[in-house]
Amino acid sequence: MDGVWEGSPWLPTIRLAHAADIVLHSSTYVPATLAFVSSYYVFLGSWPDLLLIACFCGLKHRALVTALTFQLWNILCTTILPSAVAIGAASMLLSALNQKGLKWTGLGRPYLIPCKTTHTRLFPQNHTFIYSYLVVGIPVGISGNSNGMLSASSERLQGFRGFLSNILCGTWYKVNAFDYLQRGFSDAGLRGKLDTYLQSQGEDPKDYPHAYLVTAARFLGYHFNPVSFWYLYNSERILSAIVLEVNNTFGERRPYLVLRDLSTEAKRLSGMTPGVTAGPRVRASWAKDFHVSPFNSRKGTYSLLANDPLDPDTGDFRGLDATINLNSSKGHEKLVARLFSEGEAINPEFMSITEKIQFLLRWFWVGFATFPRIVRQAAALFFKRKLHVWYRPEPLKESLGRHATATERALETAFRNYLRFLVGQCRKPISVRYSSSGITDAVGEELASPSCTDNNENTPQTLQLKVLTPVFYTRFVQYAHDFEAIFTEMTDSGTIWTDQPHVLPEIFLKKASPPLHAATATDYLYFKGIQTLRRRPDPIPRVSTSADPPATACAVVEDIRDFRISSMDAYILEHADQKVKASYRSNLLRLMVANNYFLGSLDLLGIALFVFRGGLAWFLTTQLSQAIDTWR
């Protein structure tokens, strides 16, 4: 370093160049290793690979890791923990200071409702349990914060913004419209979603101007809600209907609209003994068509007996009591589930800070314990009671499918674009109302062929195309022919539904698959691999019940067609933008590999890739350490 003084700004650059010169001229092993490591992470690597490298380097340099750990611990004790305590204290302070009540003149008020829930199985084995439970009552249409304890909103905040909202709002229990009825966000909040659902059931929302929701609210962002009750009242504040919104552990949802038979109820009240008072109630029954428990089939009948939780004159809460019975398809009474309030409901508007702390200490854990309780009772039924397990069927048209996985979301985007393209190429006047499944930020879309906008005297045909489950997206791309895919999935597997099947051939044409034409080597390699691995998926079997006849053996049919790429593949190659194309080919190839070599499980494929990356990271770390030692 002769001729360079210590304060020179060029000193770091010169030292770096000097080190590089030593590396390049000392041995070919060092630059070759560095080139291999760099090439791998530039073309194939990601941040998990870098994290693995860092972990393995830490194992080889434990002294350095120990020193860094000690420094991080000091930072944690001096900065992070005090900050967390301060944030918690600020949240409690905001909750305590937020004393303003909600402005609401409609029926009902917000309440915290301590409850008990009982569950008694009568057939084929006896099994009973009882648990404490906490629900809240919210007037549908109200919005805001009630004394820092309970709030209702329609906002959808995720990530860091959602965390800041939880802290700054100073609210412990939250009811968000995003979590109820139709998937996705609604500017109209709970009331708007309820009105949309009522219209879909052929009811006029104006017949039910008042509504009250009883549900398990979010606590610190966590939410697991087996069933919610929407109590619907007419203009005279008389309970007229109930919507039971049932959720299963798979993330699927089924709302049931139960109408009150006012004439039958009037006869019951008129026939009671004089002097005996009884509040209004709803009694009804309906067919079961939603999979809730693996120990019950999807057949059977539900019946409900529920009281009116509100005083129609004052709107005060006067008690919750709802009983649901399940009968099997053969008429056996299988189980009885009951939810009832215990003690007085609490109006959060009048709670002091001491009462808030006492309430939170008593009830904070209940929401987190709901799912473990379900798992515990399921284990008892399976291992102790030896009950038969029914596999989960795909949901029917009236139900809402589970949330889509990352792969399903990516393929839904490609399918939506492809459907737009097909409708745009259609020569006949056709309008398609497409409804996705499991996609919260893009639920539905209406598409129209070009001839619909022309001066055409023919009335366009309107086609409803509703995806029933997100698994449709990963199944559709496995077919080489669109016509076969859409009809097989509709008739055999039940993953999609339409009201006019005869119109589908106008959109999904029956034609041969195109040859593979790729503009780049990367596209060619990806789609050649997809073409080689593509296999027609097996149909999803219809779930049998005890009432079904014995299944007969079916002949195994072998597909001998020579598969090319699919029409959707060709569309992606020719018309999709680079982002959609890269996402489509990557997710589709992973799906094909998983189906052929990992039992159809992307999770198993992910584990295998993680093990491979871990081994490769360990090898690269070892080689890099040896190269550094050689250089030294």
Q: Decide if pLDDT at 541 tops 70.
A: yes
Mean pLDDT of 196-216: 94
Q: Buried (b) or exposed (e) across 22-46, using 16+ Cβ within 10 A? A: ebeeeeeebbebbeebeeeeeeebe
The whole-number pLDDT of residue 620 equals 72
Specify burial of residue 384 (Cβ count, 10 A radius: 0-12, 13-18, 19+).
Answer: exposed
Domain ranges of the chain: 98-267+279-384, 406-540+561-597
Mean pLDDT of 529-535: 91
Any idea which of 63-77, 300-314, 566-580 has the lowest mean pLDDT?
63-77
Specify which residues 515 forms β-bridges with.
none
Beta strand 430-435 with 444-448: parallel, antiparallel or unpaired? Answer: antiparallel
- For the chain, the maximum distance between any two Cα atoms, rounded to a whole number of angstroms, is 113
Any idea which of 15-29, 79-93, 431-445 has the lowest mean pLDDT?
15-29
Quick one: which H or E segment has residue 162? helix 159-169
Residue 354 CB neighbours (<10 A): 9
Q: Decide if pLDDT at 198 tops 90.
A: yes
Average pLDDT of the chain?
81
- CA geometry: angle at 111 spanning 106 and 112, to 5°? 165
**Lateral strand order in the sheet of 173-176:** 144-146, 150-153, 173-176, 218-219
Structure token digits, residue 47: 């941040």
The whole-number pLDDT of residue 55 equals 73
Q: Give the residue, 158 or 79, on which the prediction is more confident.
A: 79
Q: What is the DSSP letter of 346?
A: B
The whole-number pLDDT of residue 169 equals 60
| Cα separation, 466 vs 517, whole angstroms | 32
Mean pLDDT of 320-347: 92
Q: What is the DSSP letter of 515?
A: P
Any idea which of 333-342, 551-560, 617-626 has the lowest mean pLDDT?
551-560
Q: What φ, ψ does residue 375 adopt, rounded to 5°?
A: -60, -40
The whole-number pLDDT of residue 170 equals 62
**Lateral strand order in the sheet of 461-467:** 444-448, 430-435, 461-467, 496-498
Q: What φ, ψ does residue 464 adopt, rounded to 5°?
A: -95, 125
The whole-number pLDDT of residue 592 equals 94
Per-residue pLDDT band at 153 (split at 50, 70, 90): confident
Q: Decide if pLDDT at 145 tops 90.
A: no
Q: What is the DSSP letter of 531?
A: H
Q: Decide if pLDDT at 199 tops 90.
A: yes
CA–CA distances in Å: residue 584 to residues 475, 569, 571, 573, 580:
14, 9, 11, 10, 6
Specify which residues 227 forms β-bridges with.
246
Q: What φ, ψ does residue 283 adopt, rounded to 5°?
A: -125, 125
Contact, 398 vs 254, CB < 8 A?
yes
Identity of residue 361:
L
| Cα separation, 465 vs 598, whole angstroms | 32
Any idea which of 220-224, 387-391, 509-513 has the lowest mean pLDDT?
509-513
Any idea which of 205-219, 529-543, 547-561 has the lowest mean pLDDT?
547-561
The whole-number pLDDT of residue 598 equals 92
Nearest Cα neighbor of 115 from 351, 415, 439, 340 is 340
Tens-digit pLDDT profile for residues 288-327 = 989 888 888 888 999 999 999 998 888 889 999 999 999 9
Q: Decide if pLDDT at 276 tops 50.
A: no
Mean pLDDT of 402-415: 93
Q: Quick check: helix, strand or coil at residue 535?
A: coil
% of the chain surpassing 90 pLDDT: 36
Per-residue pLDDT band at 267 (split at 50, 70, 90): low
Structure token digits, residue 410: 């990516």
| Cα separation, 108 vs 150, whole angstroms | 14
The whole-number pLDDT of residue 478 equals 93
Q: Decide if pLDDT at 158 tops 70.
A: no
| Cα separation, 60 vs 621, whole angstroms | 9
Q: Find the DSSP H helices in 454-566.
A: 471-476, 482-488, 521-533
Structure token digits, residue 243: 């919507």
Q: Buried (b) or exposed (e) across 214-243, using 16+ Cβ within 10 A? A: bbbbbbeeebebbbbbbbbbbeebebbbbb
Packed helices 29-43 and 47-60: angle between N→C axes, nearest 10 degrees:
140
Residues 6+ apart with CB under 8 A from 226: 216, 246, 247, 370, 374
The whole-number pLDDT of residue 414 equals 94
Tens-digit pLDDT profile for residues 357-385 = 899 999 999 989 988 998 998 898 888 88
Residue 626 CB neighbours (<10 A): 13
Per the listing, tokens 């709002």 go with 169
Per-residue pLDDT band at 262 (split at 50, 70, 90): confident
Per-residue pLDDT band at 549 (split at 50, 70, 90): very low
| Cα separation, 4 vs 16, whole angstroms | 14
% of the chain surpassing 70 pLDDT: 74
Q: What is the pTM of this model?
A: 0.80
Structure token digits, residue 205: 């929302």
Length of the chain counted residue by residue: 632
The whole-number pLDDT of residue 545 equals 43
The whole-number pLDDT of residue 89 equals 66
CA atoms lying within 13 Å on the CB side of residue 90: 11
What are the DSSP E strand ranges found in 26-122? 111-121
Structure token digits, residue 300: 């059977």
Mean pLDDT of 411-436: 92
Structure token digits, residue 239: 């309970």
Q: Give the residue, 485 or 270, on which the prediction is more confident.
A: 485
Beta strand 321-327 with 333-341: parallel, antiparallel or unpaired? Answer: antiparallel
